[in-house]
Structures are given as structure tokens and as C-alpha cells.
Chains A and B, each alone.
Chain A
Amino acid sequence: MSAVDTWVSAFHARSAQQPGATLPWLADLRRQAIYRFADEGWPTRRHPRWQHTSLAFMDQQDFAANAVAPDAAAALARLRGDDAGHWLVFVGGRFNAELSDIGALPAGVQLTSLADALDQHPEAVQAAFGSATDGDSPAALNLALATDGAWLRLPLGVALEAPVHLVFITNATDASQHLRNLIVAEANSEATIVEHYLGEGEATTLTTAATRLQVDADARITHLKLQQEAEPAIHLASINATQARGAHFASHSLSFGARLARNDIHTRFDGEGCDTLLNGLYHLDGRRHVDHHTSINHAQPRGNSREFYRGLLDGNSRGVFTGRIIVAKDAQRSDAMQRCDNLLLSRAAEADARPELEIYADDVKCAHGATVGQMDEDSLFYLQTRGLDDAHARRLLTYAFAAEALDRIALLPLRKQARAALMARLPGGELLEELL
């Protein structure tokens, strides 16, 4: 039996217990999705969107739950501090009501687990759920197997003051977790959603995650993802946004953990005058691999997109970035800017940055650039002449390189969380603590 069949059998074994299993549309959708996955298998390098990241090894890969579960309450407490906010905690792919604290919400806001939403307003969930043909085969697997996730619906004109935090923690029973988060932001609404992925342990676990965001006219949505899975984990995720006229969407993807992480991040302008920021930062060491596959579809005129990715690559690691920008024929006066900068911290590390521009309109501003470089010798020398030893100077410059990405996170408490996550990764990060 091939590993693909293993997932298909797992599907059949679980499907009756899935949330919303009795909803015919959902059962159908899940079946279509698992058939698609069984049919396509894991993507390999032959797939145009997976040229730098083959999942062929997944056929032979065994997954196991960690022997000991992370102390979810303690991890949450560290992360949360004394933040009031809205906190939804998922352990092993299922909503944990005890650890969660959804808090007070403005009238009309729906913020629940996806399982609860399927019970309470299945029609609305159906409209936002996505289809079996979305994305590539790992996305189909996610659709088929997703056990839970968050549901957020913001009514017209409502702004959530405090960020919504979604915390996903692995447990000691599940070798894999499959999460689906659906966010519907009606016109003129505003919110910040943060996804934290936490894991500990030596086992190879699998996370698949899909986040779908519908950003209606003039709504403003900021999405931040902080991926801090355990070192041996595999993390396959997608973030899909659609933006209506004048909608603003910002995505910050910080990828610090996992042996292999893939993030597909896409947004499409379905109305005029949309605005997008795609900001990303990854830090890799050892033999770890991260791939960000992004696309911004300027399907309508006068859209503005800014994309900045930065990578810190140590050891034998590899960082891959693809930035696709599509400007449709009628999307005049589009303005797109893209940069990807990588700092190599070792000779064996490797960075790939590929812009893919498809411009069909003529009145367009579009700029892109990519750099791969080593630590600046002049800066190192300058710091050392001021008494900082080589290790301290290197850490400081490494941090400084990353700081530009962190500084784009507008909300200060979130920027601090992101900094702390980075510091925890940098050797000797505690020396730099005062920077916080």
C-alpha cells in the first residue's frame, strides 16, 4: 500500500467523525478532494509550482505522534502574557474550549471553531469553504482531512480592536493535524488575525493548513502567521485571499520552525483600487527547507501591491521564494513592487528567488529585485572595532537584517512576539534581548 493510499484509508476511517459529516455538500466536497489527492499524489519537481520543493519523499515518510505532548497551557501562557484579546486554541487539530478565551465581541461578529460554525451556520460556511480544485494536491488533502480551524465573520463596518489569535499546538496522540480557517470580512470591517503554530519533540509530524480570507469592499485585514513547529515537522500551508474594491490585505509570514515548510500565499484583486502587502521572513539552519510560493493577481485596475521577503539561511538549509505577479489586460494603473533578499550565514546554505511577472496591461508600474549575499565585512569590522566580539557582531547584523521585515508589522505587541520568536532561534539571542 503506498503512502497515498494510507491517507485515503485514513480519510475513509475518519470521515464519519468529521465535523459536518452529515452535511451532504461537505461530504461530497471531501470525497472529491480525496479522489483528487489520490489521483495526483504528492507534487514532485516535475510540477511547475514545485520545481524547488519535491514532496516525492512523502510517499515513504512515516509520521508519528510525539511521545510527550507539549504543555499547551504553559506554551499559551508564554505566548499570551497578559494580553486580553481573542484567543482560540487548537490542540492536535481540534478546538480546545478550556484553553481558549474568545473574549467579548462586538454585536454580530462570529468567532468560533469551524466545527461549531458548521453546526450553527452551515450555509455561510459552505459559501466560504473553497473547492476541491483549489491549489495543488496538498491543499486537496487538507480539504478532505481538516478536522477543525477557526471561523471568523465580521459584519459590515465592524472593527475588531484586539487581534484574533489562533494557536495550533501538536499533541501526543495525532501524527498529523489538518486545519482550515475561514475568514469573511464584510465591507468596511477591520481585523488582525494571527496564526501561531507551535510544536515540540523529535517525531516527524505533519501539519496541513489552509486559510481563506474574503476581504470585501474597503475592509482591512491583516494576517500574521508565526510558524514555530518542532524541527522534524513537515508543514504544508496555503493562504488564499480575495479582495473586493478598495480592500486592504496584509500578510506577514514568519517561518522559523519545521524541517520542511511550504506556504502558498495568493491574493486576487476582484475590484478596483485594492492594496496588498506580502511580507515574509524565514530563518533556517541545519538541513531545513522553506518554500514560499506567492502570487498577486492584479485582475482589476489601480491596484497596489508591495511584497518583501527576507531569508536568513544557515547550515545546509535552503530557502525558496517565488513571487508571481499577474497584471490583467484591463488592470491599468497597477503598481507592483517586489523584493526578496537573502542573507547566507554559511557557505553551504542556498537561496532561490524567482520573480514571475505576467504583465498584460500597458499602463503599469512594476519593479522587482532579488539579492543573495553574505554578511557585510565593513559592518562586521566596524562593530568589532567597538569591542564587540565576532559572534556578537554577527548576531547583531543577522538580527538587523531581519529587523526590516519585523518592522513592517504595524502592531507593536505582535512585532514583539515575532521578535521574541526570532530571538529564540538565533544562537545567543538573549544577548540581543535589550533590543526588544
Chain B
Amino acid sequence: MLDIKNLKASVEGKDILKGLDLQVKAGEVHAIMGPNGSGKSTLSQVLAGRDTFQVDGGSVTWDGQDLLAMPIEERARAGLFLAFQYPVEIPGVSNAYFLKAAVNAVRKHRGLPEFDAMDFLTRVKAEMKAVGMKEEFLYRAVNEGFSGGEKKRNEVLQMALLEPRLAILDETDSGLDIDALKVVADGVNRLRSPERALIVITHYQRLLDYIVPDHVHVLSQGRIVRSGGRELALELEEKGYGWIGDAGEIHAAPPAAGGA
């Protein structure tokens, strides 16, 4: 579904992604972990199409197409969804309008009938209930004055409504209490299906207790320095990221559990 090869990206002349490889197949859940500043958000923003980041090399193939050549909205319509680490506040635009415009833009592209006001409200209210958002959030401006947790719920709500084929969650769990975390995990798990894939970017293994990944990758200094199964996340939880060298290289292997 998604094939990233030797991806290099920079911002303002500063290299951030330095040759990143990742393959995601339908039905899989990948977790990407890594210290702050390792390039996790950069990767997700490049995949979504943010042009502040310059792609300097490598390729990203999405269902055989060159993802990097697609306009931002085409990626979204084709089923790519990014839950932002820092969702954007848009004063003056009601959440209801925003959600409906988004859902209908995507449905139109998929050859589905656009929702009318009633259908949309029924649908959105059901999803809001599932993510624990009060109805009043429909009538407030997009993310404006929302708490951190409310913004993250709003991201999960958008994901549920847009029914993406590949969802990237960029630290959707950060700053959430355990109840909110469960809501997020629940939203993600409801979306899981053999046709869909997920990339869960997280700082903590905690989320992965609820969203069990098939693969775990460690990103450091713009490269994936280690990949493994679920146990890698547990190991990271225990050891932290200290075992990754400053230059991003791995010092042999992580120290054995209980070792020095």
C-alpha cells in the first residue's frame, strides 16, 4: 500500500529525514517511536504534503502511484489521513461546516452521494458520542479554545468520519489522561480492517497496550534504526532511548534487560 524508499527531507537547509525506508501493507498497524526531534512529525507532514519540507531524495509510492506528486487534497481524497500532533485552530469556521465539507469532498471523490444536512448530522452525532464529544463542539469554531484533549478527540472524530485507508496518528496520545487515551484507541480499533493500515506515532508504549501494533520502528536522527515486533516497544519503555547513539547509529544492540 505504502512504500517509502530512502526518503530524504530538509527544512531551511537542515536535513531532517536522512534516508528513511518503510513499507506498510493493508491491514497492518505500524508504530513509530523515537526521541523528540528525531523527525516523526516531519515524516507525517511530508506524507500529507506539507511544502515547507523539501524532499531531497527517495520515493514514496502509494498503491503504485507517486504520492509525492499528488496535491495535498488528492492524497486525502485517496484515503490518506493525518491526525495532527498540533491541530490547527480556525476561528470563524464552524466545526460542523468544516466536518461536512471534508466528508463530502472525500465522498464525492469516492463516487458516494454527498451527505445532506440531516444525514450528516445523524452520522456526526453518532461518531461524536463514540469519541466522547459534546454536541456543542459542532457549533464552535474549529479547534478554537479547545483543550489539548478536545483537539485530539476532534482529530479522531475526523478520522472516523473520513474513513481513511491509511491513517497516520502523530502523537495523538500525548497529553491525554487514561480515559481519553482509551477513547482514542477505541476510535482507532474500530477503524482497523484488512483493507486499512495505520501508522501510530507515539512517544510512549502506553498507547500500544490498547492499539496492538504488528510492527514497531525506532526513528532516530531521520532514519529508522530498528524494527521489530510489539516487544520492541516494551523494551523501549524499559530502557528509554539512551541506547541510541548521538549520531543515530546503534551501539551494537540495546543493553540486555537487567544489564548495566
Contact = CB atoms under 8 A, between A and B. Distances in A.
A202 interface: no
Contact of A404 (B50, B88, B92): B92
Interface string A394-436: 0011011111100000000000000000000000000000110
B126 interface: no
A385 B105 contact: no
A434 to B, nearest CB: 6
Interface in B114-146: 117, 141
A400 B102 contact: no
Nearest to A377: B52
B90 A379 contact: yes
Contacts of A379: 88, 90
Contacts of A377: 52
Contacts of B201: none
Interface in B191-248: none
Contacts of A5: none
A403 B93 CA distance: 8
Interface string A377-403: 111011111111110100011011111
A434 B158 CA distance: 19
Given A381-B50, A381-B72, A434-B117, A386 B98 contact: yes
A387 B164 CA distance: 11
Interface string A76-95: 00000000000000000000
A396 B72 contact: no
Contacts of B60: none
A400 B92 contact: yes
A390 B50 CA distance: 13
Contact of A388 (B81, B84, B88, B101): B101
B87 interface: yes
Range for the number of chain A residues in contact with chain B: 20 to 34
B76 interface: yes
Range for the number of chain B residues in contact with chain A: 20 to 34
Most buried by B among A382, A387, A401: A387
Given A387-B77, A387-B106, A389-B73, A396 B84 contact: no
B145 to A, nearest CB: 14
A396 B93 contact: yes
B92 A385 contact: no
A390 B73 contact: yes
Contacts of B158: 386
Given A396-B101, A435-B97, A384 B76 contact: yes
Contact of B100 (A383, A385, A392, A434): A434
Secondary structure class of chain A's binding surface, majority of residues: helix
B54 to A, nearest CB: 15
B49 interface: yes
Contacts of A399: 92-93
Contacts of A388: 73, 101-102, 105
B94 interface: yes
A350 B54 CA distance: 31
B91 interface: yes
A385 B97 contact: no
A382 B87 contact: yes
Contacts of A385: 48-49, 72-73, 75-76, 81-82, 84
Given A381-B50, A385-B72, A387-B106, A435 B94 contact: yes
A404 B90 CA distance: 12
Most buried by B among A384, A402, A435: A384
B16 interface: no
Interface in A119-177: none
Contact of B73 (A387, A403, A404): A387
A386 B91 CA distance: 17
Contacts of B76: 384-387
B9 interface: no
B162 interface: yes
Contacts of B94: 435
A388 B50 CA distance: 14
Nearest to A432: B97
A388 B94 CA distance: 15
Given A434-B97, A434-B100, A435-B97, A387 B90 contact: no
Nearest to A403: B92
Contacts of B87: 382
B105 A382 contact: no
A384 B92 contact: no
A401 B73 contact: no
Interface string B56-97: 000000000000000111011100011010011011111001
B73 A397 contact: no
A396 to B, nearest CB: 6
A198 to B, nearest CB: 27
Contact of A382 (B88, B101, B106): B88
Contacts of B105: 386-389, 392
Nearest to A435: B97
A400 B73 contact: no
28 contacts: A377-B52, A378-B88, A381-B49, A381-B72, A381-B88, A382-B84, A382-B90, A385-B48, A385-B72, A385-B76, A385-B84, A386-B98, A386-B102, A386-B158, A388-B73, A388-B102, A392-B101, A396-B97, A396-B101, A397-B93, A399-B93, A400-B92, A400-B141, A403-B91, A404-B91, A404-B92, A434-B100, A435-B94
Interface of A: 377-379, 381-390, 392, 396-397, 399-404, 434-435
Top 5 nearest A-B pairs (CB, nearest first) are A400-B92, A387-B105, A386-B102, A403-B92, A384-B72
